[in-house]
Structure 1
Amino acid sequence: MLKSGSLSRAGKCHECLPENSWDAVMEQDCGDWKAAVVCSGGSGCANGQAAARLTADALAEYLSVHFERCLLEAPEVLRMEVDGLITEVLTYAAKKAGADPAGFGCRVMAAAMDRQGRCCLFHLGDGIVVGKPDDDGDWFTFSYAQRGLSPGAAGLTMGDTMFRDLRFYRQVQPADRALFLLTGDMPEAFAILPEPEEHPELLGSPELLGEPENDCSAAWLIARQEPEPPEPPQ
């Protein structure tokens, strides 16, 4: 069994209107695997909203095509590819808009997982990824937010340190696994949600999330091995 999902809430800073949100969330069903991407426009970036949407689209498509390579290829090669893809997409958008490419800054979390629980993850900037290795395991922080010396100083697309800051992880052994990609106030909501694998959609409920000041989003990938059918009676 393999399931995915996502949700997004616009914060009071954007009048709680979804169309004003600077978060972009994408899911891609690729048959044997699924991809989930959460991107957040960088505060202070003139075109951060557009950057988030364009980057989310590009990385969802990348993972839909290259997931199996992501389980085998050298991490540095994959990081260079994703760095180059993001740069190409956002540079073109900036040129088309007649805008400064540096204004197309966003933070990135992009993951894919197959039915066996094998998975990969790219992470740039803020947000955290929470994981669980199996049914009996504990939740743990799979990838932490990057922190710079000043707000927005670390981990943005089109920044001078994008390649250096872009992280890549993978788990290639089949297992029951779960990954949650969380931005804004979602980590706090996740921490108090009982059985998040069973009811992940409750992350966005007013009871858990309240009225967030900033945009916040979540996406998840959950793989569970199907039980073996019982042996027929002899």
Structure 2
Amino acid sequence: MPPTRRKITKKKNVTIDNMSISAIKKKIHDTERSLRRENLTAKVQVDSERKLKAYKLILIDKKIVSEEKKMSTKYRKVKYFDRVKTDRAIRKAEKQLLEVKDQQEKDDTLKKLFDLQVDQNYILHFPKGRKYLALYPTSNGDDSDMIAKRNEIKDLIKKAMKKNDFDSLNRQSREEIRAKVLRKMEKDKKKKKSIVRKNESSQADRTNKIITDDGFFGTDNVNDCK
């Protein structure tokens, strides 16, 4: 029986762009630690600071993509039901437009059709970093706050439709996510510093307790030394 050849699989070329968020965080941690070393040459320090800045920018971009995916997955089913109902209503309005003869009824149908097209774009271009507000909610449908927020986004959609420019709307949405990510990163940074300070304080208290403990230097009294 001829010997079987072992299949050689090529290792995937890992670059900073296809690294996971946790891997990039480790890179940032390692780089920050290396910058705290003493006697760093000017060249090494500049290179390390440049790398650190690049790592942080890539981390932010990856967190933005991750947040978009999370929100997209979370509201996928709600958007699906909205899209089905809206598409059905559009087909019905288009059919009705072909059948109406009265001008006033035709104008009303055209307005209804435009509103439905706004709803269609609302579903497609809803800001990815925000909680999706259903067009056909099963509860709290009459909530004035929800209605106001929906109308606010619909106004943005109408402006984008008028200019035929959804790219700027998507960029604005991404900037909202970026600001959200940066706020969370800053919050996590402050929390981490607080934990470090708390641990250092606890360690100092334990050390002081050991030093001031009566039995630390022995139990002999001064009189015993006479």
- The structure that is strand-richer by fraction is 1
User: How does the TM-score come out when normalised to structure 2?
Assistant: 0.22
User: How does the TM-score come out when normalised to structure 1?
Assistant: 0.21
- The structure that is helix-richer by fraction is 2
Structure number, greater radius of gyration? 2
Q: Which has the higher contact order (CA 8 A, sep 6+)?
A: 1
